[in-house]
Structures are given as C-alpha cells and as structure tokens.
Amino acid sequence: MEYKSTYAQDDDYDSYDCVKHLHYNSDSSTALPFLYFRNIRYLEYLPIYQENLCPNIRTDLLTSFFVYLYDFAFKYQVQVLIDRSPLLYSLQLRTDRNPLSLFDEFTSKSIRQLDLHSPHACWNEQYCTTFSHTSLGLQCEVLTIAVENRTAILCLVNSMKNLRALTVFSRDDPWKMKLDYEQFPLEEDMHIKWLQRQLPSTCTISRVKSLPNKIRLWIQ
C-alpha cells in the first residue's frame, strides 16, 4: 500500500483525511485495521485475493479509479467498488486480455471517461460496435483506446452517441513508430488526411504531441 498525504503529522492519527491518492492491493488489508482514509479522490487498485476493498477506505468522494485486472475472476470486486463510488468520473482499466466481456457487466451512473488503452487489446470493428452498445459505452464522453485499424476509429465515432473526445492508437497507422512528429509536415500524414475525408468537418483531428503515435479527435 502506498499513499500521499499533505499533512506533516499524519503518523499521529488513525484517520488520514489529508490522503487523496492511494495505491492499494488486496494484500494491503492486513496493514489497515487501524487506518482510515475518508477523502480519497484517486485510487489505484490491484485485486489479488477474492475479497472486497477494505471498508476503512471510503470511496464516496472518489473521482478517478485505476485498476489492473490480471484475473477476470476479480471483476466482482471492481463492480462493488464502482457501486460504492457515486462521484466516480474516470475509469482506467489495464488487463492482459481483451476487456470487452467485462463491459457487459460493469455499470455506473457516473462514469463518463474511460481509458482502455492496452498493447494486448487492439479492438476491431466488431468489438467497437459491441462496446458502443454497452451501458458504459453508451454514456462515455471521453475515451482512450487502441484499435486494429482506422476503420474501427470511424466505428467508434459513428456509434458512440455521447463521445466528445477520442485518443486512439491505431495498429495500421504508418506513423506509429515515429518518435518526433515535429520533423514531419502535416501534409505527409496520410492517416490523418484519410480520417479528415471520412469524418465531418466539425471533427478536429490531430496528433498528440507528447505521444505522436496516438491521434486525438474532438467531436462536436
């Protein structure tokens, strides 16, 4: 377990109200019987054992949740935590397998931002279409993801009715290995030019300067 606090004398208190960021795995629960976290805004969670998040950790103020789910058998714990977090806006999910099956079961009334980018899970058009009809896919406004090809990008934009911003890595992008985007003029970026031809002019498309192998789309 790791946590960040802004209070100099936290060691003198059982309740760590100044802690806003917490990294937690199931193995941490033995260290928490007398520690209370009531103001967590950001939580990193690695479920190792099939037990729910320690009740000493309050999540009613949680807005951002990062989970590494290496075993889908632990998906129940993730949903329980989501249910305990009425203000949760952002969910980042990392897994060694394609997480699409999880979204048939994960539900939340508050989540609007999803980060599903993983080198192990580049989604094709069928996956994108299926995801867009799930509960979280229907309400998602901000999405980060990796796809097999640029046609899958069109599928996401056209089928996710509430999507406003999309950051995407496309496996068929010929510029995906370029490290310094500034060296290459925009007119040579055929991947973006193709997307511009296929999408409405109200859609703004550009490279992410810090990560030029990703494309960002603003959808109006």
pLDDT for residue 10: 45
The pLDDT of residue 1? 47
Q: In the prediction, which pLDDT does 50 show?
A: 60
Cα–Cα distance, 137 to 21 (Å, whole number): 27
Report the pLDDT value the prediction gives residue 178, as an integer from 0 to 100: 60
Looking at residue 7, its pLDDT comes to 45
Name which of 130, 119, 131, 111 is nearest 62 in CA terms.
Answer: 111
Length of the chain (residues)? 220
Edge-to-edge strands, sheet with 204-208: 2-4, 21-25, 42-46, 64-68, 90-94, 113-115, 142-147, 165-170, 211-218, 204-208
User: What's residue 53's pLDDT?
Assistant: 62
> How does pLDDT run along the chain (220 residues), one tens digit per residue?
444 444 444 444 456 777 888 887 766 555 555 577 888 999 998 876 666 566 678 899 999 999 988 878 788 888 989 999 999 999 999 887 777 778 878 999 999 999 998 767 889 999 999 999 999 999 999 999 999 999 999 999 999 999 999 999 999 988 766 655 555 556 578 899 999 999 999 999 999 888 878 999 999 8
**Per-residue pLDDT, 76:** 87
Buried b (16+ CB within 10 A) or exposed e, 83-101: ebbeebbbbbbbbeeebbe
What is the spatial distance between Cα 110 and Cα 114, in angstroms, rounded to a whole number?
12
Q: What is the pTM of this model?
A: 0.84
Residue-range domain boundaries for the chain: 1-63, 89-218
- The per-residue pLDDT for 176 is 64
Position 93 scores a pLDDT of 93
Residues 6+ apart with CB under 8 A from 151: 125
